[in-house]
């Protein structure tokens, strides 16, 4: 597995843990994102760690998802088919944080990075959308950590500056997803000030 991919994921994971420590005690039951309160949003974000721990032992020889953009195309279809299930998983993950979310998140980060350190090579793991190289899957987890940490910061008024490599990787993934959807030119025009994007435009 490329060392820089794991290192970038580790930066994003530690940044998430550092952000959780700063969340005000009275913000946890307040607004988070959409139907989630802040606890559910943090819980959903923590799934970027728990899914890695869950998938690492699930090795397969069949690589059905060969790019990160392909992963998101399949994941978006799954979410659209049952959005209530996505919402409920976030709530359950938030509840699982218990009375000491900071400690739980720190523990998840430590366990996740230890498990990655013990993983040899770049195996194919069975994800929710099929077999995928671990290195590619980690890029999607870094993206989720960066985007949702920004959500958390916005929800409770905390500044969050993503680690440079994680932000760069996430921007690259967003561009790849937009291009795979035939929206690359529109995104480039918007980024260079030549046009705008639809309200609440999203690549995921």
In tens, the pLDDT along 59-98 reads: 999 999 999 999 998 988 888 888 899 899 999 999 999 9
pLDDT score of 1? 57
CA–CA distance, 87 with 79 (Å, rounded to integer):
10
Q: Which domains does the chain have, with CATH numbers?
A: 3-178 (1.20.120)
In tens, the pLDDT along 159-192 reads: 999 999 999 999 999 999 999 999 999 999 999 9
Q: What's the whole-number mean pLDDT along residues 6-33? A: 97
Radius of gyration, alpha carbons of the chain: 17
pLDDT score of 81? 82
Facing residues of 124 across strands?
133
Which is more confidently placed, 129 or 1? 129
8-state DSSP, 59: B
Of the candidates 55, 68, 91, the one whose C-alpha atom is nearest the C-alpha of residue 204 is 68
What is the rounded average pLDDT for all residues in the chain?
A: 95
Neighbour tally for 57: CB within 10 Å: 10
pLDDT score of 78? 84
Which is more confidently placed, 73 or 38? 38
């Amino acid at each position: 597995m490329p060392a820089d991919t794991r290192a970038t994921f580790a930066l994003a994971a530690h940044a998430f843990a550092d952000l959780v420590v700063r969340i005000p005690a009275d913000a946890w039951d307040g607004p988070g994102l959409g139907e989630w309160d802040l606890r559910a949003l943090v819980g959903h974000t923590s799934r970027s760690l728990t899914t890695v721990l869950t998938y690492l032992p699930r090795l397969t020889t069949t690589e059905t998802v060969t790019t990160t953009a392909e992963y998101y195309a399949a994941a978006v279809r799954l979410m659209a088919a049952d959005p209530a299930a996505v919402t409920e998983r976030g709530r359950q993950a938030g509840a699982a944080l218990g009375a000491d979310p900071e400690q739980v998140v720190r523990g998840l980060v430590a366990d996740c990075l230890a498990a990655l350190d013990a993983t040899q090579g770049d195996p194919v793991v069975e994800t929710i959308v099929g077999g995928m190289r671990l290195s590619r899957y980690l890029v999607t987890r870094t993206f989720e950590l960066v985007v949702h940490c920004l959500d958390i910061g916005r929800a409770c008024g905390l500044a969050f500056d993503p680690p440079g490599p994680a932000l760069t990787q996430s921007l690259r993934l967003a561009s790849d997803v937009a291009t795979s959807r035939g929206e690359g030119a529109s995104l480039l025009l918007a980024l260079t000030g030549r046009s705008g994007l639809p309200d609440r435009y999203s690549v995921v």
